[in-house]
């Protein structure tokens, strides 16, 4: 369908439909099963959504199907931690170096004795600890409110997934104990872990992810509601970490091939930020061995090539501010 949204804009809808049709044929990968509730997911839904910084939303397929945000939440909680206690204090607790290891590795950086980065579980659990320190028992409500503001609608917790992970998350508890032992996480660690399990169990759609990503692309202002949701400096730092670490031990390949800051989750979602231009959200539950959605990765690769979205592509115009600055300088 060339004009899926019925808004008369044929170009992007046609491209989305073509990519969706092509990628839908790929049934590779497996639904995550280490969280029992996730193993019950229907593997078949597949949606791609794009929101522009001007607030236009385009989509194809299952863009309104709910799934849990999982690790994609890590980008937003990191942004909140930067705002809450400042960059220097956050850096004392969590690094910004890619680990090159799986997202759930039970490890820390032996040089700094801190988690490698906030996009892997060890770093995200530490970030949850920071948010608990700042907000106490209200921390989850703060996270939910902020993610809802970015999505432009009231998001809710998927209780079943939350209970399932809280009951079985032994690996994350092992990470928590390790962090306490090196002094990266304060005792008691249970509140930080509980916040982490809850933030991962927030229910979203591909359309939500696209709009939340567009809020980041739009320097923290939600493009549809116009509300200021995130601080501009925190958004910059968050994008940098998404670019280098957001796809776990696939981050290097992703930066090379797709070239946009992104964050995936084992619920099957991927969100990508095209700075100052677009937010992209995909949903398809079958994952590759690194925990990234198979169809999501393929969709992003094709979209990036088709629309010229790679950060270092000739076709990517970059920041309008820089353009205008140089244009001004040229005139004087
Ligand atoms: N809640 C999941 C976990 O901690 C999130 C992991 C992910 O999405 N990569 O294992």
> Consecutive 10-residue runs of the chain (332 residues): their mean pLDDT?
49 93 98 95 97 95 98 98 98 96 93 96 98 98 98 98 97 97 94 98 98 98 97 98 96 97 98 95 97 97 93 71 52 40
CB–CB of 279/217 below 8 Å? yes
Ligand 1 mean position to 110 CA, how many Å?
23
Q: What residues contact 322, with CB distance under 8 A and at least 6 apart?
A: none
Q: Which atom of ligand 1 is nearest to the CA of 171?
A: 10
Q: Which domains does the chain have, with CATH numbers?
A: 9-70+201-309 (3.40.710.10), 72-200 (3.40.710.10)
* Burial letters 184-207, b for 16+ CB under 10 A, else e: bbeeebebbbbbbbbbbbbbbbbb
Give the model's pLDDT for residue 328: 53
CB–CB of 64/207 below 8 Å? yes
Question: Which one from 248, 251, 263, 297 is the annotated catalytic residue?
Answer: 248
- Report d(CA 231, CA 242) in Å as an integer: 16
Give the model's pLDDT for residue 11: 84
Report the DSSP beta bridge partners of residue 79.
none
Question: Which one from 23, 57, 74, 127 is the annotated catalytic residue?
Answer: 74
Give the model's pLDDT for residue 310: 94
Q: Is ligand 1 within 6 A of the CB of residue 172?
A: yes
Residue 71 among the catalytic residues: yes
* First and final C-alpha spacing in the chain: 49
């Amino acid at each position: 369908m060339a004009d899926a949204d019925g808004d008369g804009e044929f170009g992007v809808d046609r491209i989305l439909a073509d990519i969706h049709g092509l990628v839908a044929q790929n049934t590779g990968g497996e639904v995550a099963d280490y969280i029992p509730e996730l193993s019950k997911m229907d593997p078949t839904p597949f949606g791609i959504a794009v929101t522009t910084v001007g607030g236009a939303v385009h989509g194809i397929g299952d863009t309104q199907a709910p799934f849990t945000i999982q690790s994609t939440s890590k980008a937003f909680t990191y942004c909140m931690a930067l705002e809450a206690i400042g960059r220097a204090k956050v850096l004392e607790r969590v690094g910004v170096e890619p680990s090159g290891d799986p997202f759930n590795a039970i490890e820390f950086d032996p040089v700094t004795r801190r988690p490698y980065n906030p996009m892997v579980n060890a770093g995200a659990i530490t970030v949850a600890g920071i948010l608990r320190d700042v907000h106490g028992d209200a921390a989850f409500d703060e996270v939910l409110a902020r993610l809802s503001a970015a999505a432009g609608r009231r998001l809710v917790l998927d209780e079943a997934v939350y209970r399932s992970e809280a009951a079985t998350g032994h690996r994350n508890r092992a990470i928590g104990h390790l962090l306490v032992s090196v002094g990266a996480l304060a005792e008691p660690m249970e509140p930080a872990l509980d916040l982490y399990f809850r933030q991962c169990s927030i229910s979203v759609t591909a359309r939500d992810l696209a709009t939340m990503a567009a809020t980041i692309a739009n320097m923290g202002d939600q493009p549809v509601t116009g509300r200021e949701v995130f601080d501009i400096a925190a958004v910059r730092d968050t994008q940098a970490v998404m670019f280098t670490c957001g796809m776990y031990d696939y981050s290097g390949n992703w930066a090379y091939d797709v070239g946009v800051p992104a964050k995936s989750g084992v619920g099957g979602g991927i969100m990508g930020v095209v700075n100052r231009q677009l937010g992209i959200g995909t949903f398809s539950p079958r994952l590759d061995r690194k925990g990234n959605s198979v169809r999501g990765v393929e969709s992003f690769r094709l979209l990036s090539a088709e629309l010229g979205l790679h950060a270092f592509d000739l076709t990517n115009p970059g920041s309008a501010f820089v353009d205008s600055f140089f244009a001004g300088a040229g005139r004087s």
